[in-house]
Structure 1
Amino acid sequence: MGLAWPCASAHCLCLVVTLSLILLVSCSSSSINSQRADSLSKRSTHLKMDQALLLIHNELFPEKFTVYWRSDQCYQCLYQTLAKSDQRSDRASDVAVVDARHPMTLQINATSGNTELCRVHYRFREFGNYSLWVKNSNSSTKDIACNIIINQNPVYTNLPIVIAFFIYVAIFIVLSLGSFLLRLNTVQNWLCKRMNPVETDRLINSELGSPRADLGSQDPHFATWNAAPQRLRSLDTFRGLSLIIMVFVNYGGGGYWFFKHRSWNGLTIADLVFPWFVFIMGTSIHLSLTSMLRKGNSKWKLFWKVLWRSIQLFLIGLFVINENYCRGPLSWNDIRIMGVLQRLSITYLVVSALELLFTKLLPDPVPQNRTCFLLQDVICYWPQWLIVIVLEAGWLCLTFLLPVPGCPTGYLGPGGIGDFGKYPNCTGGAAGYIDRLVLGEDHVYQHPSSNVVYNTTVPYDPEGILGIINSVVMAFLGLQAGKILVFYKNQHKQVLVRFFTWSVFMGVISAILTKCSSNEGFIPVNKNLWSISYVTTLACFAFFLLMLIYFLVDVKKFWMGGPFFYPGMNSILVYVGHEVFENYFPFKWKMQDSQSHAQHLTQNLVATSIWVLIAYILYKKKIFWKI
């Protein structure tokens, strides 16, 4: 009889994750909802996610005052009005809704004379109920005290994430234990007696266990695994990891602020994945073009293939998943020209053309007595590096020397209320100016993340024209990783050492550029600008992460890369599919409480897991969408 035990294989990890998350996160949703309902039932104001309630009590009556606020995430920002104490009695209180994502500073100014009475720094928690008491600190003096007390405790909204984390840990333990048991002779003998011997043998030698050498020629999956020098599983695993995180954050990331893009300088989890995807694309470019050139394909033939693929990517991004749909039906008058796939297409074209123009096929294996062996992956391709350095010099010159009307030269700020409101229409400096000048304001992204904290009103595109240069640099650094894999083929120690060295080198450059600060460095880490420090920082992480995955997957074979390997094999399909079907069931449904992190997280994790499952099924059916 056939063996129908899918959970014995690591392939079904995605299905187990989906079912477990639906069950346990939904349970946490009900408990959190009941807790939040009890808390909100006593409040007169309906709160949304990332908000808390603040009652303002004035014991200085009849003196009136105004409460201003400024988020810690808003660098050099103007204070904004939160509430005015206009009550007609010393027993009354004003009600205000405050932001609960980041710590903030409250400044209380007297209405008469606008003099500062007091200032308090506080971190409000989501769905909490607080009171701000403004009173004399001592009856014999005129000193003013501002105190915040908790009326009702906030809700611990991170509980669903904790539950999801323990689910993944539990699944890892179960799979590891299953792998260990299946290697025991006693278990193997029992399975051989109880089940079909052929199918049992396949089970024992599946991805959950260790492939046997005598089955290598018969098992096609083993053949794929053993073909690592031709297609490294670590690359597809890294690509899939970046893609799955990208899908999750695009679907909303449970509504948590740390799964959304940073408003301006700095990093969140959402800011990591796109550069990693660009990085691994560069790695794949070198391996793919090198392989095709070795097969005798001409450079011109490969260039036309690269050009056609780039055009397809650009058109898909322009017409299929254009973000400006939120402004109504797409039209030529306001269509967003740039975007994620458009950025990928141009980057892919430039880096591939650069590779085809200067690449030289080296003998296999590469002789190690060459004079430039220690740095041959850099020195032997000095023309490519020279062009990349020139491109980066162009980015620096345009960013810091291009005159922008109404803005200081070299401005890197968000505009809006940043820089104390001096440059409200200078969002992005030269980068924003070039996009508005070349593309037109109506063809630029209308809802940038900068307007969340900095209240910007100028359209700004984080995938704009100027940022393409640093996207090319990021892909070229990924190309460098591919060269390392080729030059040090089958020399795992050398590959790991080189990856680690590049990671440290990129990290040192980032530390110098940023002065290890979010806002005070020469060039801050900024995803909206795709600053060079952003590229070096993410390249540092990418080299280190690729080193770990390469060690676990391709060197020691402790991990087969699942479940990330499967989306990595069908990355374009998963990315386009998740954008096109984002608002369709089962990827989205009507929630009972749209202000529940638990329900948002459940929906987003289920949707992401479904795409992993789809990618796995397509992999088993050998269906891959290539353009």
Structure 2
Amino acid sequence: MDEAKRVEEGLAGDGQTQLIKEDCQGDLHKKLDRNDGGDRVEDAPEQPMAETAEEQLQVVKQKSKRVATLDAFRGLTIVVMILVDDAGGAYARIDHSPWNGCTLADFVMPFFLFIVGVAIALALKKIPRIKDAIKKIVIRTLKLLFWGILLQGGYSHAPVDLSYGVDMKHIRWCGILQRIALVYFIVALIETLTAKRRPILLEPGHLSIFTAYRWQWMGGFIAFVIYMVTTYALYVPDWSFVAHDQDVPRRYAVKCGMRGHLGPACNAVSYIDRQVWGINHLYSMPVWQRLKACTLSSPNAGPFREDAPTWCLAPFEPEGLLSTISAILSGTIGIHYGHVLIHFKGHSERLKQWVSMGLCLLIIAIILHFTDAIPINKQLYSFSYVCFTAGAAGIVFSAFYIVIDVWGLRMPFLFLEWIGMNAMLVFVMAAQGIFAAFINGWYYKDPQNNLVYWIQKHIFINVWHSERLGTLLYVIFAEIVFWGVVSGVLHKLGIYWKL
């Protein structure tokens, strides 16, 4: 398999074959390091020196072994995203937490950013020409921003609404891919610009990996300081908004006039987004609408209470600017795990670094949350949320590494690998509902009379006599398993969608 099609950064692919080839051309007598391919785990026996760069490149491919954990972890994140997006309405407990707390859905975004960081470390560990690397980073960032705005800005109404188009007065500028793009841009840029300071060998000591990449951690620390200072020091004044989803648009006022508030109404995260993007460009259906203060149906969605506070009707951007600055920490922690993969050769050495850091992050998060110092909150992307989700990502990544790459039990996780290798395709077609919208476009007499609804109703909901269970089984088999099979077929054909 061509490495240019296999190594992906988050949702996008980035080949390393050219980097290996240029390295071979520059020094044909250099011995292949056991991690030279970017995601390799074992040394290979020494072979006769190749006479040409092309022959040595072939030797590189033959002697290297890919770390399958990266693809499986990325595939797991996509699978969880599909599950919570399409079954979260039936099972509110797995949907995003309305405010403080952490549910299954709240792990998706930080898991994406974590694996983006890991992939950046591997893809950019050898940079022949910094200008070329920066150019690729900029182009990929722009591609992710474009697709993010197209899919989540309001232009696409998939999968239920067959219409398309967006009023530019209400377009949503932020979203999942936009956040990934900005975090990727900052983390990858730091990694590239500090390439000459990158150590070949680490100094002895457990903390040497941290000091060797101090500039990456410095970038994460700066993001942390900006977020914390702004969150707790910025004054949030009173504000108002117009609710456009009513028969007659009406203006509501929200009383604030405070600093350091971490509730839905008066936090600095939302204030920054209202000032930068404009309130009309924020997400119009925030999850806080499922809070007890807003609806008696909590934690499910339902009609608003008569005495609901005005902010229940207000928009809020869960992928906003200030929270994205905090999200840079998730990418920084991910790139640290990638550095460990590069510099530590033995499985036990890697796992000691990974598991110890993951446990430390979890402990920090739990202490901060249960002492009410900094609650775990996905909507604000709080520091405790960063620690909790990054720690969980580190533990899950380590567990995958043990089972898949150490024990060699790849078969049960092949469908995750296949989805992970074509993550962008599955994200667009399944998680964003583009394929379902295409199928919905072929209906008989009425838009509700289409194949997707027929399968949901007659094969799952009616058979199990339960809308909740039927919806869950439909998501598992008609979406997740289906796209696992499609990804496997595309993998066998060597077809990948990368940015």
The answer to whether the superposition gives a TM-score over 0.5 is yes
Q: Confirm whether residue 602 of structure 1 aligns to residue 457 of structure 2.
A: no
Q: Confirm whether residue 315 of structure 1 aligns to residue 146 of structure 2.
A: yes
2:274 matched to which residue of 1?
Answer: 436
- The verdict on how the C-alpha distance between 1:265 and 1:254 changes in structure 2, with shifts beyond 3 A counting, is closer
Q: Confirm whether residue 622 of structure 1 aligns to residue 475 of structure 2.
A: no
Between the aligned partners of 2:87 and 2:61, the Cα distance in structure 1 is 35
2:397 to 536, 546, 549: 546
Q: Confirm whether residue 337 of structure 1 aligns to residue 196 of structure 2.
A: no
Q: How does 1:44-443 map to 2 (within 5 A)?
A: 227-228=64-65, 231-253=66-88, 255-291=90-126, 293=127, 297-323=128-154, 329-360=165-196, 367=201, 370=203, 372-406=204-238, 407=256, 408-415=258-265, 426=266, 429-443=267-281
Cα deviations across residues 94-153 of structure 1 (Å, max 9, x unaligned)? xxxxxxxxxxxxxxxxxxxxxxxxxxxxxxxxxxxxxxxxxxxxxxxxxxxxxxxxxxxx
Pairwise CA distance, 1:388: 1.7
The structure with more helix, counted as a fraction of residues: 2
SS where residue 235 of structure 2 aligns?
coil
- The verdict on how the C-alpha distance between 1:451 and 1:362 changes in structure 2, with shifts beyond 3 A counting, is closer
- Compare 527-536 and 574-583 and name the one that shifted more: 574-583
2:424 matched to which residue of 1?
Answer: 572
1:613 to 480, 485, 496: 485
Between the aligned partners of 2:89 and 2:260, the Cα distance in structure 1 is 37
Pairwise CA distance, 1:507: 1.6
Q: How does 1:466-545 map to 2 (within 5 A)?
A: 466-489=322-345, 491-515=346-370, 521-545=372-396
SS where residue 589 of structure 1 aligns?
helix
Between the aligned partners of 1:567 and 1:225, the Cα distance in structure 2 is 24
Quote the RMSD (CA, aligned, Å): 2.4
Between the aligned partners of 1:261 and 1:367, the Cα distance in structure 2 is 43
Which structure has more relative contact order (CA 8 Å, sep 6+)? It is 2
SS where residue 251 of structure 1 aligns?
helix
What is the letter of the counterpart of residue 391 of structure 2?
Answer: C
Pairwise CA distance, 1:393: 0.7
1:117 matched to which residue of 2?
Answer: none
- The verdict on how the C-alpha distance between 1:298 and 1:242 changes in structure 2, with shifts beyond 3 A counting, is same
What is the letter of the counterpart of residue 337 of structure 1?
Answer: W
CA contact (8 A) 1:238 1:549 kept: yes
SS where residue 319 of structure 2 aligns?
coil
2:452 to 576, 588, 598: 588
Pairwise CA distance, 1:342: 0.6
Between the aligned partners of 1:244 and 1:225, the Cα distance in structure 2 is 31
Between the aligned partners of 2:62 and 2:148, the Cα distance in structure 1 is 33
- The verdict on how the C-alpha distance between 1:436 and 1:252 changes in structure 2, with shifts beyond 3 A counting, is same
Cα deviations across residues 440-461 of structure 1 (Å, max 9, x unaligned)? 1111100000012242111101
CA contact (8 A) 1:324 1:336 kept: no
Q: Confirm whether residue 449 of structure 1 aligns to residue 287 of structure 2.
A: yes
Pairwise CA distance, 1:331: 2.1
Pairwise CA distance, 1:352: 0.3
CA contact (8 A) 2:78 2:423 kept: yes
Percent identical among aligned pairs is 30
- The verdict on how the C-alpha distance between 1:488 and 1:438 changes in structure 2, with shifts beyond 3 A counting, is same
SS where residue 525 of structure 1 aligns?
coil
Between the aligned partners of 2:108 and 2:151, the Cα distance in structure 1 is 21
CA contact (8 A) 1:290 1:361 kept: no
Pairwise CA distance, 1:374: 2.8
1:173 matched to which residue of 2?
Answer: none
- The verdict on how the C-alpha distance between 1:323 and 1:272 changes in structure 2, with shifts beyond 3 A counting, is farther
Structure 2 length as normaliser, TM-score?
A: 0.72
Cα deviations across residues 289-335 of structure 1 (Å, max 9, x unaligned)? 114x2xxx311101110110110110111013435756973121110
What is the letter of the counterpart of residue 332 of structure 2?
Answer: F
- The verdict on how the C-alpha distance between 1:554 and 1:451 changes in structure 2, with shifts beyond 3 A counting, is same
- Compare 281-290 and 574-583 and name the one that shifted more: 574-583
CA contact (8 A) 2:80 2:108 kept: yes
Between the aligned partners of 1:556 and 1:330, the Cα distance in structure 2 is 50
Residue segments in structure 2 that go unaligned for 5+ positions in a row: 1-43, 45-59, 239-255, 295-311, 441-450
- The verdict on how the C-alpha distance between 1:476 and 1:322 changes in structure 2, with shifts beyond 3 A counting, is same
Pairwise CA distance, 1:383: 2.3
- The verdict on how the C-alpha distance between 1:554 and 1:303 changes in structure 2, with shifts beyond 3 A counting, is same
2:242 matched to which residue of 1?
Answer: none
CA contact (8 A) 2:114 2:333 kept: yes
Between the aligned partners of 1:403 and 1:462, the Cα distance in structure 2 is 20
Pairwise CA distance, 1:225: 10
Between the aligned partners of 1:226 and 1:585, the Cα distance in structure 2 is 44
Between the aligned partners of 2:117 and 2:360, the Cα distance in structure 1 is 19
CA contact (8 A) 1:252 1:604 kept: yes
SS where residue 255 of structure 1 aligns?
coil
How many residues are aligned here?
A: 379
CA contact (8 A) 2:71 2:421 kept: yes
Between the aligned partners of 2:90 and 2:350, the Cα distance in structure 1 is 39
Cα deviations across residues 257-299 of structure 1 (Å, max 9, x unaligned)? 12211111111111112211110110000001114x2xxx311
SS where residue 564 of structure 1 aligns?
helix
2:249 matched to which residue of 1?
Answer: none
- The verdict on how the C-alpha distance between 1:611 and 1:563 changes in structure 2, with shifts beyond 3 A counting, is same
- The verdict on how the C-alpha distance between 1:514 and 1:253 changes in structure 2, with shifts beyond 3 A counting, is closer
CA contact (8 A) 1:462 1:528 kept: yes
- The verdict on how the C-alpha distance between 1:598 and 1:224 changes in structure 2, with shifts beyond 3 A counting, is farther
- The verdict on how the C-alpha distance between 1:548 and 1:432 changes in structure 2, with shifts beyond 3 A counting, is same
Structure 1 length as normaliser, TM-score?
A: 0.57
Pairwise CA distance, 1:572: 1.0
Cα deviations across residues 594-615 of structure 1 (Å, max 9, x unaligned)? 9711221232121122111111
What is the letter of the counterpart of residue 525 of structure 1?
Answer: I
Cα deviations across residues 544-593 of structure 1 (Å, max 9, x unaligned)? 11111111111121234322011111111110112122444488324446
- The verdict on how the C-alpha distance between 1:392 and 1:486 changes in structure 2, with shifts beyond 3 A counting, is same
CA contact (8 A) 1:359 1:381 kept: no
1:460 matched to which residue of 2?
Answer: 316
